[in-house]
Amino acid sequence: MKRSLETRLIIFFLVLLLVYIGAVLYFAASERVEYGDDLMAPVGVDYAMYYSAGITAASGNVEDVYNVPVQQATTAQLLGINRIQPDLQWFYPPTTMLMLMVVFSKLPFILSEILWLGLTLAFAVFGMFRLLQNRKKLAWLTVGFSAVVFGLQWGQNCFLSTALLSLGLAYTKKRPALAGLMFGLLTYKPQLALFPLLLMLLTGEWKVIKWSAVFALVPVALSFLVFKPHVWVIYLKSFFQQSNPLGDEIWTRTFDIQPTVYSCLRLMGIGGLALKILIPLIFAALLFMVIVIWKRSGNINLTSSAMILGLLLSAPYYVQYDLMLLCIPFIMLTDELIETRAALKDICMLEAVFIMPLICCIIVRLFNFQIAPIILIWAFVWVWKRAMSAPPEKQALAD
């Protein structure tokens, strides 16, 4: 019996996951991969930073989590290397992420990382399952999306961010308290939480905003009980002393893994006051356009895609692995195109979204140009046109 397109896609993406795991295991067996100038970092170095922060906090020395030299030395010792790349620092407040790491640090390092990646990736699949309205099996495409390889390679939290955003979108209309829980927890990465929270505010989702505020404050209150109030003084002091990831010192070393509009503009020679004016204007314009799409269209495939694409185009800072968020519009638009029969140009757009996380860093290094925003704009314009042109009968609310 001939398999459906949906089934064939799922099988292909499951095979891709096995390829990613094989590639990561190969690098792990090789012990070191190039990371920055003359420094070398093993696979899982980012998770090692999380894990060592959890160990430090669990030992009662939570202050040392924000002592950069101490924390980097602890991480290097855990990995059995002399030093780590200086940009690797614990930037997170003493809330959700640190509390999770205290729990995960109770396990042996390798087992802890495997569980972290497995559980958060499964959580992301569940988020997509809840978000999809028609072909829910397409949620399995999450595991084979191209940016998965970066999450696996470095042990990052991009799967967790994807899960929180997809579930927040899924529950916005139906269960605002649960949506608020997801968006509130997402504040562990403020640069990812700002856009969706402003969108909720400006589209009148007052219940979501109320619950987001509650669930953003709950981890703060818990941190006062678990880690004591003085740790916030240390965190805030550390926050203002840490290197600015958008400043010249760090940006010149990491621009190739920052696939943002900010980086694209800087590579084009735009800086100074002009850049400081352009970035807020771009943010405001994208927010306005996404609000228009949300007000006009009830098609959750389009509204959720518009929000994620707007977020990625407007955030001044995120790193290559955060492109895992693109699996949300990729899967939602795949569902949309299966429903309406895709033209060749539509398939090309989806393929570009899929491939871009794998090639944008390479293109920057070869040609000193950041292609990621170009692909994101292409996809966003496609969503805009689709939402503006759809007849009223196709604008039924998902809930």
Q: In the predicted model, is pLDDT for residue 243 greater than 60?
A: no
- Candidates 305, 314, 320; CA nearest to 358 is 320
Confidence check: pLDDT of 128 > 80? yes
Alpha carbon 119 to its chain's center:
16
Give CA–CA dist 249/328, Å, rounded. 33
Element (H, E) at 184: helix 176-185
Q: Quote the CA–CA distance of 297 and 291 in Å, as a whole number.
A: 10
Q: Tokens for 177? A: 């308290």
pLDDT 10s digits, 311-349: 999 999 999 999 999 999 999 999 999 887 778 899 999
Strand pairing class (33-34; 40-41): antiparallel
Mean pLDDT, to the nearest integer, of 33-60? 75
Closest CA to 223 of 75, 92, 119, 70: 92
Q: How far apart are CA 311 and CA 192, in angstroms?
A: 7
Cα-based angle 120, 335, 360 (whole degrees, multiple of 5):
60
If you search the block for the tokens 């090639």, which residue do you land on? 359
Contacts of 145 (CB under 8 A, 6+ apart): 13, 324, 326, 327, 330, 331, 354
Q: Which residues pair with 40 in a beta bridge?
A: 34
DSSP 14-50: HHHHHHHHHHHHHHHHT--EE-SSS-EE-TTHHHHHH
**Residue holding tokens 């990382």?**
113
Token reading at 34: 């190039």
Q: What burial letters (b/e) apply to 219-257, b meaning 16+ CB within 10 Å?
A: beeebeebbeeebbebbeebeeeeeebbeeebbeebbbb
19-51 per-residue burial string, b: 16 or more CB within 10 A, e: under 16? ebeeebeebbeeeebebeeebbbbbbbbbbbbb
pLDDT digits (tens, 9 = 90+) for 360-388: 999 999 999 999 999 999 999 999 999 99
Torsion, Cα of 35, 38, 42, 46 (10° steps): -50
56-70, 107-121, 230-244: which range is least confident on average?
230-244
Q: Measure Cα distances from 76 to 44, 105, 308, 326, 398 in Å.
A: 12, 16, 35, 32, 49
Give pLDDT tens digits for 296-308.
988 999 999 999 9
Q: Nearest Cα to 216, choosing from 50, 96, 102, 307?
A: 96
Q: What is the per-residue pLDDT across 170-224, written as a single tens digit (0 to 9) for each?
A: 999 999 999 999 999 999 999 999 999 999 999 999 999 999 999 999 999 999 8
Q: What is the pTM of this model?
A: 0.92
User: Among residues 97, 117, 131, 113, which one has the least CA distance to residue 330?
Assistant: 131
Amino acid residing at 265: L
Spatial CB neighbours of 364, under 8 Å, sequence gap ≥ 6: 255, 256, 267, 370, 371
Q: How much of the chain exceeds pLDDT 70, in percent?
A: 91
Which residue is listed with tokens 């818990």?
A: 222
Q: Write down the residue that tokens 């696939």 correspond to.
A: 259
